[in-house]
Amino acid sequence: MSFIYEELIKLYQSTGFAVITWQQCVMLAVSCLLIYLALKKGFEPLLLVPIAFGMLLANLPAAGLMNGPIYETIDGVTKMKDPGGLLYWLYQGVKLGIYPPLIFFGVGAMTDFAPLIANPRSILLGAAAQLGIFTTFMGALLLDKLPFLEFTLKQAGSIGIIGGADGPTAIFLTNKLAPELLGPIAVAAYSYMALVPLIQPPIMRALTTKKEREVVMEQLRPVSRMERIIFPILVTLVVSLVLPSAAILVGMLMFGNLIREAVDLQSVLNRLSKTAQNEMMNIVVIFLGITVGATANGELFLLPRTLAIIALGLIAFSMGTAGGVLFGKLMYRLTGGKVNPLIGSAGVSAVPMAARVSQKVGQEYNPNNYLLMHAMGPNVAGVIGSAVAAGVLLSMLG
Amino acid sequence: MSFIYEELIKLYQSTGFAVITWQQCVMLAVSCLLIYLALKKGFEPLLLVPIAFGMLLANLPAAGLMNGPIYETIDGVTKMKDPGGLLYWLYQGVKLGIYPPLIFFGVGAMTDFAPLIANPRSILLGAAAQLGIFTTFMGALLLDKLPFLEFTLKQAGSIGIIGGADGPTAIFLTNKLAPELLGPIAVAAYSYMALVPLIQPPIMRALTTKKEREVVMEQLRPVSRMERIIFPILVTLVVSLVLPSAAILVGMLMFGNLIREAVDLQSVLNRLSKTAQNEMMNIVVIFLGITVGATANGELFLLPRTLAIIALGLIAFSMGTAGGVLFGKLMYRLTGGKVNPLIGSAGVSAVPMAARVSQKVGQEYNPNNYLLMHAMGPNVAGVIGSAVAAGVLLSMLG
Amino acid sequence: MSFIYEELIKLYQSTGFAVITWQQCVMLAVSCLLIYLALKKGFEPLLLVPIAFGMLLANLPAAGLMNGPIYETIDGVTKMKDPGGLLYWLYQGVKLGIYPPLIFFGVGAMTDFAPLIANPRSILLGAAAQLGIFTTFMGALLLDKLPFLEFTLKQAGSIGIIGGADGPTAIFLTNKLAPELLGPIAVAAYSYMALVPLIQPPIMRALTTKKEREVVMEQLRPVSRMERIIFPILVTLVVSLVLPSAAILVGMLMFGNLIREAVDLQSVLNRLSKTAQNEMMNIVVIFLGITVGATANGELFLLPRTLAIIALGLIAFSMGTAGGVLFGKLMYRLTGGKVNPLIGSAGVSAVPMAARVSQKVGQEYNPNNYLLMHAMGPNVAGVIGSAVAAGVLLSMLG
Amino acid sequence: MSPIMYGLLVTLFGLTIVFLVLTGLWGILAMMKLFFGGKKAQETQATVKSMVNTTGSEVTAAAVQSDEMDADELLAVITAAISACMGGENNLYVRKITRVGDNTPVWGQISKQEQMLNRL
Amino acid sequence: MSPIMYGLLVTLFGLTIVFLVLTGLWGILAMMKLFFGGKKAQETQATVKSMVNTTGSEVTAAAVQSDEMDADELLAVITAAISACMGGENNLYVRKITRVGDNTPVWGQISKQEQMLNRL
Amino acid sequence: MSPIMYGLLVTLFGLTIVFLVLTGLWGILAMMKLFFGGKKAQETQATVKSMVNTTGSEVTAAAVQSDEMDADELLAVITAAISACMGGENNLYVRKITRVGDNTPVWGQISKQEQMLNRL
Ligand code: NA
Ligand code: NA
Ligand code: NA
């Protein structure tokens, strides 16, 4: 019966218990923690649940769900010996840069740019809030000087983009510049987006005076249907001509928006608009989330740099908020008090969470102040702004 | 500070302004024009908006959205250096012949073939209207004699298929025979489909007498559930056995139709039928449209042949209409006046636009004449007819 | 005019009639029979209609819908000469192991595991019913001794998995172990699932006493939200650590279930849950069904072994039922008559058909006996059980 | 053979084949009518208009008893309810009935699981 | 080893592992019950039947105050309204409630944007 | 150039370009307003609230005459019907209107085929 014994040994060696590493143990715990945060604390569950579960699946020992295919060549004919794991194949949509633009397409179909069209100067607040991206980028370069940390320019750029407060942009850029950081950067970006209502208010209060916070802004003008339809085409042309590397993100965002707005003229387009917003988006979110999470294997994730990235992410969000608010103060001065600087913080993107924070802080100081629609302008401008910043980083570092 | 200056130069050279060609300028204008026609004039917006936006995206200078991946081999190991553009990857669904059959699957699930089953002789009108395909094919071969135009047999066949008045068939065949013409042929096909209500009536009036136009047709018989279910299976078998090259288009059309009709027997199939008609179709339409448009880059599109294709497309639709109407007159004679020749024009496909044109022209001359359901017979037969014609062209020219 | 004659010959030779084989004729008839069984007799129409139509399409002579791409190398540059058929490309989702886990994801999102959580000992009935898998596996190995049959260990394992009564598991394992048997195994698995209400009751009656069949079971306890959410995570961890080869199926099943249950906490997840259950599932079902059917080409299907597989499939379901019922009897003894052995038959999976059979047979003998919810426990446990069994077969035979 | 000549051949063969194939389908359809056309065609659409003309309570009862109450019937119920509320003057004419969405199940109920799970 | 012998080994190991794993799950489920099973199970389904038994006005008020009025509740409102119209005889029995479609938002309203955009 | 120096350059250029591009968009938006902003903005949402305030019969008539009765209007009809039933006390406030699902057609009707098939 010795062969039974041998088989038993073989069988034991094929179990996960036999080969699990301490990193995998920790990662399984981390993924459970993320599921807890997503479900109990409401941390962006739409993305963090798939990310966390992908992390769990990818760290199951010996399961090989992220393994690539294995080919073998016999007599000059190459054949696939093993197809590899599901997550490897789904991950190709990240690797080839397919999922993030498709999500931008859906986001465009869901976003109303009218508050921005009605109040175009608010677009500058969406530029100012990108300060967070670049200060964090510099911060990462400075941390590189520390003996136990090492960040290349590309890695620093990927970390900086956390300050864009925009998940698909962060994933898109990181995949191009530093795919080895995809896991921690995605987790940091989505976690801090969930924490916007905690991070922003103290900074907003610290940088503004009570009088500034109480400014009531003028009602927004109505926006014509023609403006809504021409806007996405113009934005695509202008941004792409100046910065070709931002064309794909901005172009797909605006394609989605064009279809959304064109429904008013040709109702048959409603089919496409709904699919872009719902089923197509949901399918891509599931695949994107689970495979981004799956990149976070223990050896890559459990390094000092992950903690540094998490620390830098907080700086990114804080500096972005500060940049927006300070530029808001400048606009307050220049317009003779017509602009409430609180809407500046919404420039970090994180649509529409950041705009709601502006609204909430504003109402604390003046219960009759409704800043929401005014803050939506910088908020959606911030999406464009961080796509442009990503384009700059891609073209200068890529 | 000379390095700043150098970087500035480099940055300027990386903008679209620095490298834009006149062709790209023209193509950007053309795509805006197509969006205008689609939205304001109602030219098949469901396809032309994605096609036009794809055209716009593909002609953004230096953006490289249609670029293929770049590989590099270091020490014998080949690695992907750059994944290429989104549109390149989405385009694989056209190149590998995946999208058009999937659209046919959805069209099958949306089409009611009962008017054809109830009045099977109307199927011949759907054959006669394919005249447009072959006269246009010959026209393109004759134009090849002109000094400034050059059309191969394959290109002529692709141009001819515009006369099928069926978008997916045109895209499917053109991709196989002459992919370099995909842009102009798709644009011509969908534009003329939108113009069917303008193109057809004068031809219909010119070729028929008042007496013929006033013919009232007999009520159609009811069609049994069994006939509806057996029909798609039989059509698949017959067409595919005679013409294997038409098997994929006709087979998927009929698969969709089988699922649609089988819902009456097994309601659980409603899930598949709905998905085929809605979400799956919409996703494929978006991907197909945007990537077909993206094939229209300036160098390929802005050639004299594009104008020739547009002229030939008009001939295609006109001759198809004439073929259908003339065969309708023949049937009028043979049946002793029971067939109204106006339903012949519906044989060009363009479901159900062409059938509505028959109905409208018929009612002009006899307000109590309801030709719509009678015209739906040739109309859906035209879809099968043009798929068969495409199969012939594919097998004799491919 | 001899060239017309030559072309006519060529044309005839290109028709399906010229090249059809007797196997293709038989397969076309078989696929029509399967469509009849699916639509008229209600044999799992959701899968069998696509499988049957795929079989029909793949056996159309000369249509080449399952042909792979053809490449040609000219001057060292390899180019695709022919893209191959649609079904080849859709089949990659089976070959690479993508579709079955995605279906498990949707099944997880549709399945309520509460009856199992409430009555955890019923999980053992889901283990006992896997007896059918292994007896059939042995049966295939014994049949291998017959002169006209030949089954390798891998083929025997694939045939055994029919006893799991779980379509995606059977397809997943067969694709890995013996892809040449995919057609007959999928057809057998889905057909017998449809026949569960005929196969099981006689076995259930034969193996139980009247007294046992009349046992009324205690009301199930309510299950807390927390238990429902923790359950999928724990199952993934435990099963995957013990048996890494089962990780992908069980992991995706439990990922779907986690999203389903987490909707209670974070309603935004409803988007993902609905998409997993509906559109994504439907699309995958269409692609999976049609391509699994397409593997059944005549040369592979019309062999004695197909009849053997069909015979073994019946043994598989019968032995699975017997295993469950006999273990149910054991539990009846051990619990002092608290467990009705009729719920054991539900352990074969075939959710929820097998559970309804338990309910129906139970009510025949005691009209006030509601076994449905008690049988759902073994029923969903059977899904986990057959995934585990598949993992064992994969790791010991793969 | 010159392209033009070959083109003519393609045209000749092409039109012939198109006509042959579709004439063949005509023949098959005619035969199919002989075999299966005799049966009374079933009505696939719920006869919503007639339902609307009945009184609200009847319609409601009918609809709720149906195990597979579909959206058309739901609208019929609504219309009937409204019409009943308004005193029974049935001057409503339902011009377009849109079936709404996918019937996503209430998952606690076993009945839908039966429809789906065992088929996958 | 002959295929049959190896097959027997696979069967032995296979059944053992299946039982081991599922017995392990049983143990874990039992432990889970100790830790989390004490809490009162929440009812995931809206208690439609009881809502129907209330008067129409109450139900309406309840439903429209809810910020996340879902389709089930909508049907409850409809049913209640019909039943109220018919004089309050609550002989309706809702046999199957189908949730209708995906709640596509009215996009002018910020509330849905909040649910979605910031999560992408 | 050291990474830090190049980083500063990237930051300088980056912020400049972000501001340049978005300022450019500002200019374009301002110009767009001159050309197209004069026209009265159309209201894309059905004014559900006002419809609810009319009497039930009016709303019903309006809605059923509409060829493209959409889900919002359907809800308005329902709300109006309920409110009419309850004696016309319009104290309802529709907090959230969910458009339900995709309008899958009743396929016997040609009208939807017109919308779709010829566009594919
Ligand atoms: Na941003
Ligand atoms: Na046609
Ligand atoms: Na099973």
Mean pLDDT value of segment A5-33 = 90
Task: Choose the final residue of a domain: B88, B113, B146.
Answer: B88
Counting beta carbons within 10 angstroms of the beta carbon of residue B334, is it exposed (0 to 12), middle (13 to 18) or buried (19 or more)? exposed
Contact check, Cβ <8 Å, D95/F56: no
Nearest CA in chain A to E103: A278
Residues 6+ positions from A2 with CB-CB distance below 8 Å: none
Contact A276, A105 (CB under 8 A): yes
Quick: pLDDT tens for A43-90. Answer: 889 999 999 999 999 999 999 999 999 998 888 888 888 899 999 999
Query: What is the per-residue pLDDT for D74?
Result: 46
Verify whether the Cβ–Cβ distance C240 to A16 is below 8 Å.
Answer: yes
| D near A: at least 3 beta-carbon pairs less than 8 Å apart | no
Integer Cα distance of F98 and E70 in angstroms: 8
| Res C78: pLDDT | 84
Is F87 an interface residue toward E (CB < 8 Å)? no
Residue where a domain terminates, one of C22, C53, C88: C88
**CA–CA distance, C176 with C97 (Å, rounded to integer):** 8
Residue A314: Cβ within 10 Å count: 16
Strand ranges in E1-120 using DSSP code E only, listed in sequence order: 99-100, 103-104
- Six-digit token string for B354: 């062409």
E74 and E117 part of one domain: yes
Same domain membership, residue C320 and residue C283: yes
Closest CA to C182 of C191, C194, C170: C170
Evaluated on CA atoms C347, C348, C353, C357, the torsion sign reads negative
pLDDT of residue E80: 45
Choose the weakest-confidence range: A160-174, C338-352, E47-61.
E47-61
Residue E114 shares a structural domain with residue E59: yes
Q: What percent of chain D has pLDDT over 70?
A: 30
By the CB criterion, residues less than 5 angstroms from ion ligand 2 are B 164-166, 349, 382, 386
What local confidence, expressed as pLDDT, does residue D44 receive?
36
Any idea how long chain E is? 120
HEC profile for E5-17? HHHHHHHHHHHHH
F99: enclosing H helix or E strand: strand F99-100
User: pLDDT tens across B148-165, in order?
Assistant: 899 999 999 999 999 999
Element (H, E) at C257: helix C247-262
Q: Taking the alpha carbons of A337, A340, A345, A348 in that order, is the dihedral positive or negative?
A: negative
By C-alpha distance, the chain D residue nearest F81 is D82
| CB-proximal residues (5 Å) to ion ligand 1 | A 164-166, 349, 382, 386
Q: At a CB cut-off of 8 Å and minimum separation 6, what does B187 contact?
A: B34, B48, B51, B296
Residue D80, pLDDT above cutoff 50: no
Which tokens is F88 given?
């016309």
Q: What is the largest CA-CA distance in chain A?
A: 92
pLDDT surpassing 70 at residue E103: no
Chain mean pLDDT for chain E: 54
Q: Note the Cα C307 to chain centre separation in Å.
A: 18
Beta pairing, strands B77-82 & E99-100? unpaired
C262 touches chain A (CB under 8 A): yes
Does F36 touch chain B if contact means CB atoms closer than 8 Å?
no
How many beta carbons lie within 10 A of that of residue A16, not counting itself? Answer: 20
pLDDT value at residue B75: 85
Q: In terms of domains, do E96 and E108 share one?
A: yes
* Tokens at B24, concatenated: 């790209």
Domain boundaries, position A80: 2-88
pLDDT at F114 over 80: no
Query: Cα(B281)–Cα(B269) distance, rounded to whole angstroms?
Result: 17
Of the ranges B13-27, C133-147, F71-85, which one carries the lowest mean pLDDT score? F71-85
At residue F38, the pLDDT reads: 57
To test the contact with chain B by mutation, choose from A73, A89, A95, A96 the residue with the greatest count of B C-beta atoms within 10 A, namely A96
Residue B386 predicted with pLDDT over 80? yes
**Spatial contact of F15 and A398, defined as CB atoms under 8 Å apart:** no
Cα nearest neighbour of C282 on chain B: B272
Average pLDDT over residues B360-375: 92
* Residue F110, number of CB atoms within 10 A of its CB: 18
Whether residues D92 and D120 fall in one domain: yes
Residues C213 and C70 occupy one common structural domain: no
Contact of D30 with chain B, judged by CB distance below 8 Å, is answered with yes
Same domain, yes or no: D119 and D60: yes
B156 and B274 in one domain? yes
Residue A398: HSE in the Cβ half-sphere, 13 Å Cα cutoff: 18
CA nearest A20: which of C241, C238, C237, C246? C241
The pLDDT of residue C345 is 95
Q: How far apart are CA B371 and CA B163, in angstroms?
A: 23
Closest C-alpha among C390, C398, C397, C392 to residue C100: C390
Which pLDDT belongs to residue B262? 95
Nearest to B271 among C16, C57, C282 (CB): C282
Interhelix angle for A45-58 vs C247-262, to 10°? Answer: 160
Angle between helices D71-85 and E71-85 (to 10 degrees): 40
- ipTM metric: 0.83
Do residues F44 and F61 both lie within one domain? no
Nearest to E74 by CA among F95, F63, F60: F95
Q: How many domains is chain E built from?
A: 2
Grade residue C76 by pLDDT with cuts at 50, 70 and 90.
confident
List of residues 6+ apart from B255 with CB closer than 8 A: B105, B108, B232, B236, C53, C57, C290
Confidence category of residue A339, pLDDT binned at 50, 70, 90: very high
For chain B, the 3-state helix, strand and coil shares in percent, each to the nearest 5, are: 75, 5, 20
pLDDT at B299: 85
**CA angle, A204 then A205 then A208, to 5°:** 85
Q: C271-302: per-residue pLDDT in tens?
A: 999 999 999 999 999 999 999 999 998 888 89
Mutate to test the interface with E, among F51, F98, F104 (most CBs of E within 10 A): F98
- pLDDT bin (cut points 50, 70, 90) of residue F97 is very low
Question: Is it true that the peptide bond before C352 is cis, omega within 30 degrees of 0?
Answer: yes
Closest CA to B41 of B184, B203, B185, B197: B197
pTM higher than the cut 0.90: no
Between CA A132 and CA A386 the distance in angstroms is: 10
Reported confidence tier of residue F65, pLDDT bands at 50, 70, 90:
very low
Same domain, A78 and A99: no
Give the pLDDT of residue D110.
40
Give me the phi and psi of A350, to 5 degrees please.
50, 50
Same domain membership, residue C349 and residue C327: yes
% residues pLDDT > 90 (chain F): 20
Residue B100 is which amino acid?
P
Neighbours of chain F (3+ CB pairs under 8 A): A, B, D, E
Domain boundary among A57, A88, A119: A88
Flag the least confident range among A274-288, B30-44, C95-109, D23-37.
D23-37
Tokens representing residue C208 in the block: 């139980």
CA of A349 to the centre of ligand 1 (A): 4
Whether residues E20 and E64 fall in one domain:
no
In the predicted structure, residue A390 carries a pLDDT above the cut 90: yes
Residues D62, D89: one domain?
Answer: yes
Q: Hey, which residues 10-29 in chain F have their CB within 8 Å of chain A?
A: 10-11, 13-15, 17-26, 28-29
Nearest Cα to B267, choosing from E93, C199, D119? D119
Neighbouring residues of B361: CB distance < 8 A, sequence distance ≥ 6 = B200, B201, B204, B205, B213, B342
What confidence score (pLDDT) does residue A393 get? 95
Cα F84 to its chain centre, rounded Å, is 28
Burial zone of B218 (CB within 10 Å; 0-12 exposed, 13-18 middle, 19+ buried) = exposed
Q: Are residues D43 and D71 in the same domain?
A: no
Q: What rounded mean pLDDT belongs to chain A?
A: 93
> F110 with F66, same domain?
yes
Residue contact E95–D69, C-beta within 8 A? yes
pLDDT score of C55 more than 90: yes
Question: How many angstroms separate the CA atoms of A85 and C251, rounded?
Answer: 12
Give the closest-approach CA distance of B193 to chain A in angstroms: 16
* Contact state of E96 with D78 under an 8 Å Cβ cutoff: no
Between CA A283 and CA A103 the distance in angstroms is 10
Of E71, E81, E111, the CB nearest to F100: E71
Give the number of beta-carbon pairs within 8 Å between D and F: 60
**Do C169 and C270 reside in the same domain of the chain?**
yes
Task: Using a CB–CB cutoff of 8 Å, tell me whether C113 touches chain E.
Answer: no
Chain centre to alpha carbon of residue A344: 19
pLDDT tens for residues B247-298? 999 999 999 999 999 999 999 999 999 999 999 999 999 999 999 999 998 8
Q: Assess whether C98 and C247 both reside in one domain.
A: yes
What pLDDT does A372 receive?
93
Are E60 and E104 in a shared domain? yes
Among the listed residues A193, A113, A180, A8, the one whose alpha carbon sits nearest the alpha carbon of residue A373: A113
Q: What single-letter DSSP state applies at residue B386?
A: H
Pick the ligand that lies closest to the CA of residue A347.
Answer: 1
How many structural domains compose chain B? 2
Asked if E92 and D60 come within 8 Å (Cβ–Cβ), the reply is: yes
Residue type, C10: K
Residues C125 and C242 in one domain: yes
Identify the residue among F18, F33, F102, F117 best suited for mutation to test binding to A, counting A beta carbons within 10 A and taking the highest.
F18
Select the more confidently predicted residue: F86 or C31.
C31
Domain end among E27, E51, E75: E51
C269 reaches D (C-beta below 8 A): no
> Does E touch B (3+ CB pairs < 8 Å)?
no
Say how far apart CA E71 and CA E49 lie, in whole Å: 14
Q: Two tokens at A90?
A: 């789904």
Q: Does the distance separating the beta carbons of A46 and E119 come in below 8 Å? A: yes
pLDDT of C9 strictly over 80: yes
Decide if pLDDT at A181 tops 50: yes
Residues C150 and C166 in one domain: yes
Instruction: Say how far apart CA C304 and CA C319 lie, in whole Å.
Output: 23
Q: Are residues A255 and A392 in the same domain?
A: yes
**What is the average pLDDT score of chain C?**
93
Mean pLDDT of all residues in D72-94: 42
- Relative to the alpha carbon of B163, which ligand is closest? 2
pLDDT digits (tens, 9 = 90+) for A293-303: 999 988 888 99
Question: Among B196, B236, B214, which residue's Cα sits nearest to residue B341?
Answer: B214
Closest ligand to residue C196's CA: 3
B337-359 mean pLDDT: 93
Q: What letter does residue E43 receive in the DSSP assignment?
A: P
Pair A326, A387 in one domain: yes
CA distance linking residue C353 with residue C375, whole number of Å: 10
E116 and E63, same domain (yes or no): yes
Residue with tokens 């390094």: A303
Subunits with 3+ C-beta pairs closer than 8 A to A: B, C, E, F
Q: What is the pLDDT of residue D38?
A: 57
Structural domain span for residue F29: 1-51
Q: Please indicate if any CB of chain E lies within 8 Å of the CB of C133.
A: yes
Cβ-based neighbours of A218, under 8 Å, separated by 6 or more: A338
pLDDT value for C67 = 93
Task: Please give the pLDDT value at position A272.
Answer: 95
Distance between A121 CA and the closest CA of chain F, angstroms: 6
How many angstroms separate the CA atoms of B145 and A13, rounded? 75
Q: Rounded CA gap, E23 and E20, in Å?
A: 5
Q: What Cα–Cα distance (Å) separates residue C68 from each residue in B156, C21, C84, C92, C297? A: 28, 20, 5, 10, 15
pLDDT above 60 (res E104): no
Cβ distance A388 to F18 under 8 Å? yes
pLDDT at F120 (0 to 100): 55
Please state which of the ranges A39-43, C181-185, F37-41 shows the lowest mean pLDDT: F37-41
Q: What pLDDT was estimated at residue A1? A: 63
Same domain for A57 and A182, yes or no, is no
pLDDT exceeds cutoff 60 at A112:
yes
pLDDT tens track for D15-47: 999 999 999 999 988 888 888 765 444 443 333
| Contact call for residues C227 and C81 (beta carbons, < 8 A) | no
The number of beta carbons lying within 10 Å of the beta carbon of residue C35 is: 24
Mind telling me how many Å the CA of F26 is from chain B's nearest CA? 19
For F75-99, b where at least 16 C-beta lie within 10 A, e where not — what string? bbbbbbbbbbbbeeeeebeeeebbb
CA A126/CA F107 separation, integer angstroms: 48
Cα(B83) to centroid(ligand 1), Å: 25
